[in-house]
Amino acid sequence: METNRIQSIVIVGGGTAGWMTAAALARILGPDYARITLVESDEIGTVGVGEATIPQINIFNRMLGIDEDDFVRRTKGSFKLGIEFVDWGGIGQRYFHPFGNIGVDMGGVSFHAFWQRLRGEPEFADVEDYSVMAKAARHGKFMRPTTAPGSLLSSIAYAFHFDAGLYALYLRELAEANGVRRVEGKITDVARNGETGHIEHVTMADGRVVGGQLFIDCSGFGGLLIGRALGVPYVDWSSFLPCNRAVAVPCEHGGEFTPYTRSTARSAGWQWRIPLQHRIGNGHVYCSDYISDDEAAAVLLANLDGKPLADPRFLKFTTGHRARFWEKNCVSIGLSAGFMEPLESTSIWMIQTGIARLLSNFPDRGFEPASIERYNRLMVEESELVRDFLVLHYHVTTRDDSDFWNYCRTMPIPDRLAEKIRVFQSSGRAFREHEELFNDTSWFAVMEGQRLGARGFDPVAELMPIEQTRDRLRQIKAAVTASVDHMPLHRDYIREHCAA
């Protein structure tokens, strides 16, 4: 019987999305299932940013069988324990959103409920005392988790910062070793079947044709296949996340080699600082309604650790997503599918989740609609949940020093987020919606960090007598301190294991 399976896959685009997709499909499908071709244009190039990740990338790396030291060395990367937010809740305030746990849940009750019960007592006031990641970050320390059972050091959660260009090259090598064919050239035409509307082939400027049965659009913001060829509209979320520009510049190191990303709020947006081994990546994300490009660049250049290593580069974007991520025989992954600013480093993860969902809903040549609809529903839900978490950062603030912050503080927000805020304010409860990316610890860290101000605490925390609660918190704090004392400095750890 003739097979109906997909035998040729064409990936359009060789940025992070294209090469992540190529490496994953080649690894999972193996060399004999389908021919995989990736088309990229050196003339167009890649977006060239996207250097901070979240711990879920470790799942992707393991799936690819990556040797982590080699990976960090070759991408000139560093380790990341979370994000420091400066001036977000109010000017002069800072907090840390750590990866992993804060404290230890006890008797099925969240740690933060116990902490909220005691928060008025100065001895317990600093929530960062209860997170190994937050405390290690503050002291510039890092190590990977140990295997010692029961030790807090076994629960270290981390991600990476890396050079985006080197990351794409690294993945390209893996993908090509697993049989992916790379074609260089600029696509000028996309041909569709007159009856089904499916994409049949793409044509390059020099007349070469690349045909396939399944197309993955990783062509970046332009959305060459999903948008321009298939006409799938874009859902605009600018009213919730008004920033629409970024200016990026790398600079020399100026001292601190921190194992975390820093995000500093500015008058019309925010600035990122991402330390790599050979440089620091910096960028200013802003809203063009409130600040000019020149002013935004000036703010960025005035706030660098060291000498700039290139001219500032400007990027434009619209926050939102494709109404359908998958249309006919084309799946969009990466910037072609949508974009949310890198405030919580979620874009590379959205690529990862797109790939995972494509694999678990993998089509045959019939492109049966039920799985496509399911894919689209899941991707939209995922995006909305991430969006709400980002909006939280802008909305829960006391800042009134600029028109931008006045807008963000008073803007209408999605209903589900409004509910989460009300629940936290009234009961101190932070919770995860279904299988959303950010768990209750993350929601708590940001809500508390931005001083949302819970009026109460979860009453079930009273299951534990108050003196016992104090003792337990003292023990956890001491265990966190001892763990962090044991950890090496981030720069020493890199020097020993994975120096570029």
Two tokens, residue 292: 């000019």
Binding-site string for ligand FAD from residue 173 to residue 202, where x marks contact by CB under 6 A and - marks none = -------------xx---------------
Fill in the DSSP letter of residue 475.
Answer: H
Fill in the DSSP letter of residue 329.
Answer: T
Residues 116 and 461 sit within 8 Å (Cβ to Cβ)? yes
The answer for residues whose C-beta is within 8 angstroms of residue 413's C-beta and 6 or more apart is 240, 388, 391, 395, 421
Fill in the DSSP letter of residue 249.
Answer: E
**162 dihedral zone (left: phi>0; alpha: psi -120 to 50; beta):** beta
Nearest to ligand FAD of 226, 452 (CB atom): 226
Fill in the DSSP letter of residue 227.
Answer: I
Over its C-alpha atoms, the chain yields an Rg (Å, rounded) of: 23
Task: Report the alpha-carbon distance of residue 132 to residue 270 in Å, rounded.
Answer: 26
Using rule CB under 6 A, residue 49 touches ligand FAD: yes
Nearest to ligand FAD of 124, 162 (CB atom): 162
Task: Report the alpha-carbon distance of residue 123 to residue 222 in Å, rounded.
Answer: 53
**45-53, 85-93, 151-159, 189-197 -> range binding ligand FAD (CB under 6 A):** 45-53
Total residues belonging to the chain: 500
Catalytic residue among 80, 135, 141, 328: 80
Which of 41, 75, 178, 244 is in the footprint of ligand FAD by CB under 6 A? 41
Residues 326-355 that bind ligand FAD (CB under 6 A): 334-336, 342, 345, 347-348, 351
Nearest to ligand FAD of 56, 155 (CB atom): 56
* Binding residues for ligand FAD, total number by CB under 6 A: 39
Q: Amino acid letter at 179?
A: G
Which of 11, 13, 405, 442 is in the footprint of ligand FAD by CB under 6 A? 13
Q: How far is the CB of 174 from ligand FAD (least distance, A)?
A: 16
Which of 9, 22, 26, 51 is in the footprint of ligand FAD by CB under 6 A? 51
DSSP line for 154-197: GG---EEE--HHHHHHHHHHHHHHTTPEEEES-EEEEEE-TTT-
Using rule CB under 6 A, residue 44 touches ligand FAD: yes
Task: Report the alpha-carbon distance of residue 272 to residue 252 in Å, rounded.
Answer: 15
Q: How far is the CB of 375 from ligand FAD (least distance, A)?
A: 18
Nearest to ligand FAD of 24, 152 (CB atom): 24
Which of 6, 9, 39, 446 is in the footprint of ligand FAD by CB under 6 A? 39
Which of 55, 223, 250, 283 is in the footprint of ligand FAD by CB under 6 A? 283
Nearest to ligand FAD of 186, 422 (CB atom): 186
Which of 116, 219, 397, 469 is in the footprint of ligand FAD by CB under 6 A? 219
80 is catalytic: yes
Closest Cα to residue 36, out of 184, 170, 169, 178? 178
Catalytic residues: 80
- Binding positions for ligand FAD, rule: CB under 6 A: 13-18, 39-41, 44-47, 49-53, 164, 186-187, 218-220, 222, 224, 246, 248, 283, 315, 317, 334-336, 342, 345, 347-348, 351
